[in-house]
């Protein structure tokens, strides 16, 4: 689970209010407890949540517990990092990528 105070745990029930209605660029980390690459990228996601505090909202969604939302966004591989702006997906990054790649995406959409 999200231990960092800047990371919000979202579910099928509150996804629309937490993510789609957010006025801020929002990164949603679609992950699962059993996923090795998800665990590898988690510290990077936490760093980004801290570094972009106030400019980027970071959320985590457990795909095992929230399958409806994962299916809605056609998440087939995890980790999948979806970036939302004005309620729409503006970019998707799949896999445990380097922090620099995620920073480029964030900067492009801020």
Tens digits of residue pLDDT in 46-58: 999 999 999 999 9
Determine the pLDDT at residue 4. Answer: 77
CA–CA separation, 24 and 86 (whole Å):
8
Tens digits of residue pLDDT in 5-43: 899 999 999 999 999 999 999 999 999 999 999 999 999
Q: CB neighbours of 7 closer than 8 A, spacing ≥ 6?
A: 45, 46, 49, 58, 59, 60
Determine the pLDDT at residue 46. Answer: 97
Q: Where are the domains of the chain?
A: 7-109
pTM of the model: 0.95
Q: Give the active site residues.
A: 35, 38
One DSSP character per residue, 86-102 reads TTEEEEEEESS--HHHH
Determine the pLDDT at residue 2. Answer: 45
HSE-up of 45 (CA within 13 Å, CB side)?
34
Say how many Å lie between the first and final Cα of the chain, rounded: 26
Q: Which CATH class is domain 7-109?
A: alpha beta
- Alpha carbon 100 to its chain's center: 16
Which residue in 29, 28, 30, 22 sits closest to 85, CA to CA? Answer: 22
């Amino acid at each position: 689970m999200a231990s960092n105070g800047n990371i919000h745990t979202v579910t099928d029930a509150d996804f629309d209010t937490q993510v789609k209605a957010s006025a801020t660029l929002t990164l949603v980390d679609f992950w699962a407890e059993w996923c090795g690459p998800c665990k590898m990228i988690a510290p990077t996601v936490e760093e980004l949540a801290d570094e972009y505090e106030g400019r980027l909202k970071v959320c985590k969604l457990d795909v095992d517990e929230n399958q409806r939302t994962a299916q809605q966004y056609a998440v087939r591989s995890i980790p999948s990092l979806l970036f939302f702006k004005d309620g729409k997906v503006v970019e998707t990054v799949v896999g445990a990528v380097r922090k620099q790649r995620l920073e480029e995406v964030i900067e492009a959409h801020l």
